[in-house]
Amino acid sequence: MTETRTLSLEEIESLSLRALVAAGTTEENARPLAVATAATEADGVASHGLAYIPIYCEHVQCGKVDGQAAPILSTPKPGVVAVDAATGFAHPAIDLGFEALIPTARAQGIAALAVRNSYNCGVLGYHTYRLAQAGLVGLGFTNAPASIAPSGGSRPVVGTNPFSLAVPDADGQPVILIDQSASTIAKSEVMKHAREGKPIPVGWALDSDGNPTTDPAVGLKGSMAPSGGYKGVGVALLTEVMAAVLTGATLGVHASPFSGTAGGPPKTGQFFIAIDPGATSGSSFAGNVAGLVEAIRFQNGAHLPGDGRSAKRRQARTDGVAVSVATLDKITAILA
């Protein structure tokens, strides 16, 4: 059984920040990533939380991501915000973009943010959640190195490519949060099983011949299983167009892996659309959202996307989070 230790969210954020800075990241770039790491652990998505800090640090040190990068913002059109992450972390680039995206969406009713030349943005729903907190409907896309083969093929062409939708309620709090990858499961979960030497369930990944496998190492050399078969491939292609083609980022088939030290910066992309619901629906938005939510929660046992994360988040604020001691030892070694 995995040994764990309970840390507060503040301790997780502080530990992440110190490790990233020790590895060569500026504090300005490290802080948004550290805040996101604590929020991710609070939501119970451990595969994208502290477990990634040693990987982030390794990638700063080997040059896969530039910890000193200064993202560059531009506004090529009135409703478009663009940020060149300059091969740095996605989080500070997205933060910079949101500073312009949110007021632009409020002023115009809708606006888009295109981020290119960036790195793994972690949990995509963390970013769209913040748009909903600003009273906007947030839609996000991010592409990743190729790991899903096209229908009828066996060679990966597109990544697990998640999309996310966050919707605020009448009080401006996120009430619906959809955050799902185009694969049956996030690739990071297969990587986590490989690190821990655990088999994966059938249906998570395929070997290099396109056959199901329970060996995570074999799956990582093969391809991820798309969610819903060809429909999952369609979602991956949709996200690839939004996050890579429309942003000018690197296609997943050409991007270096988010794991290991091989290759240079992946230079992938993110795309966000922020919508002022009052501009499109008038006064009916809050009532319709409430009606939709009620229709789901009225059913015994039914839940909304995001409910699980919300419950864990509330508990984490008071009880802290149990984190792997093995992961903590890796981070402590970085700080030594």
Per the CB < 8 A criterion, the answer to whether 24 and 334 are in contact is no
Contact by Cβ (8 Å): 212, 206: yes
**How many CB atoms within 10 Å of residue 313?**
17
Nearest to 92 by CA among 146, 17, 160, 23: 17
Clarify whether 27 is annotated catalytic: no
Phi, psi of 261 (to 5 degrees): -110, 0
Residues in Cβ contact with 300 at an 8 Å cutoff, skipping those fewer than 6 apart = none
Annotated catalytic residue, options 13, 41, 48, 240 = 48
- Indicate if 48 belongs to the active site: yes
* Of 220, 214, 235, nearest in space to 150 by CA: 235
Q: Which residue intervals of the chain are DSSP H helices?
A: 9-22, 27-42, 53-62, 90-108, 124-133, 187-196, 216-221, 230-240, 277-281, 285-297, 307-319, 325-335
**Helix, strand, or coil here: 303?**
coil
State yes or no: is 14 an active-site residue: no
Catalytic residue among 13, 16, 41, 47: 47
**SS3 label, residue 99:** helix
Please state, in angstroms and rounded to a whole number, the distance separating the CA atoms of residues 87 and 217: 28
The residue to which tokens 């009916």 are assigned: 284
Which of 189, 223, 227, 324 is an active site residue? 189
For the annotated catalytic residues, the residue numbers are 47-48, 189
